[in-house]
Structure 1
Amino acid sequence: MPIFASFDDANITITLLKDVIVRATHIIVMFAFSSPTYYSIAIMSEVQKIILEIRAGAGGDEAAIFAGELARMYQKYATIRGWKFNVEDFNAETFDGYKSFVATIEGAGAYDDLKQESGVHRVQRVPKTERQGRIHTSTISVLVMPEVKPTEVEINLGDLDVSFFRSSGPGGQNVNKVETAVRIVHKPSGIVVSSQSGRSQFGNRETAMGMLRAKLYDAKIQEEAAKLGALRTVIGTGDRSEKIRTYNFPDDRITDHRIGKKWHNIEKVLEGSFQPIVDAFREAAKSEK
């Protein structure tokens, strides 16, 4: 007995099934991006390369210094894990801090371990420049995005404003006499990306385009996740502006506000001993299943 009454019925059913699969896959991907606990989904676990972006927020020089500390923490953790860590772009506010910092991290488990880092990180301590001994609060934002293939995001080259400049070092001094660094502005969205790590304009342009694809894809996922609203979990809201973690130096305590966990010995964590935090999120994800 035939399953379908006609080829037309079969084609209609296949089309509907394809549509269901596409929608289901899309929802899974959106859920993986928007949920702070990031359930272990095969699609996301297969990601081998990520883009890490850190930006100093409120707090001036102290925020920039903290951004530098977290950038080095992630780099040290990547070294411990055997991942490839490459600094793609930065805006050095001080010799030990960054106004902005972008790196790519490549290796098995990189996205799975660092996806929960997206959000606002807060530091509480007495700055070196504080003469009264008062505790200041500063913030930085961290964004972790998986690399997106060119076929997954369509970009109209006419929408891009591409410019070249000389790469710079700490303090803003030029370290390259040739304009190999690349800045790309996506005019419709206003997104700006740049890369200065490569030795050629072509290499830096390819890297910057990869960053742009990731940002456009991430923006689309966040927009659609916000529309659905149902992708929130009991741990946080997934809002990128949400305060997710506090580093309290006077009490030598790190608190993650999404899972309610606390750790001590901040200096050790900043030296790359980051695994306990990663493990805590794995346990939180398991408990929700």
Structure 2
Amino acid sequence: MFSPYYAWANRSQPADANDYCALNVAIYSPGNKRWTMTERGGKWIHRDQHTFQIGPSALHWDDNCLTINIAERAIPFGQKVTGTIKVYPEQLFQFTTPLDDAEKHRWGPIAPSARVEVSMQHPALRWQGHAYFDSNEGDEAISVPFTEWDWSRAAMKDGSTAVIYDVRQKSGVERLIAMRFKPDGSVEPFEAPARQALKKTGWRIQRHMRTDANTRATTSQLLEDTPFYARSILQSTLLGEKVTSMHETLNVPRLVATSTQLMLPWRMPRVPKMFS
């Protein structure tokens, strides 16, 4: 979705997305922060019904577990990022919904609530906890219909996961998706509260969060602060419950700006021989 190489290739003629694949790994552990998003061409890609291979890394689905084997190098200093992540869904969902009026972009949570086991060799980290697994797909560039969006997900007391997609389109029409994914496999829409502005990021990205009336959302941790995208952990109130939310903001005009496109290769190199 953020590949500058794919964007450049599409200027002349439709490009094959299989030639522009990457595994993004972000580790935020204090003292062990790592970022990897090395893009690889089609000769490094293999996929079948159960496996998606991207160079030396791979995702494999086996019965009730998604295993992610990571063998990458961090940007910008080339440290090893190796290890295994196992994701065990508590319930699988087949829910999808369009994000735009033309229905060319779709989102759906595959496992909105899951258990994760992380075993990293480089850096040396081990932990278990709660996980979330979803999918975004599109038939055109996200720059065509969208201006910006805010997305958040929060684990509720009853074991369900509440997701809010707050989308602003270039047409001026807003789309608001507020869904609760329950442990029994059911999906229930809910009325999202009013939008409130959050503190701008260091790159002056304006973020928003929908939180219950007469309450304020606060940022516990700003995980990613880039010219076009921010990822945060927020504390807020939703449906009468105090919740911790993973929150993301995407500013599309910032993403497609020439300055951003020229900076992206520093975070997303396309050097398969060096990193394989």
- Could you tell me the TM-score, scaled by structure 2's length? 0.26
The structure number with the bigger radius of gyration is 1
Higher helix share: 1
- Could you tell me the TM-score, scaled by structure 1's length? 0.25
Higher strand share: 2
Q: Name the structure, 1 or 2, with higher relative contact order (CA <8 Å, separation 6+).
A: 1
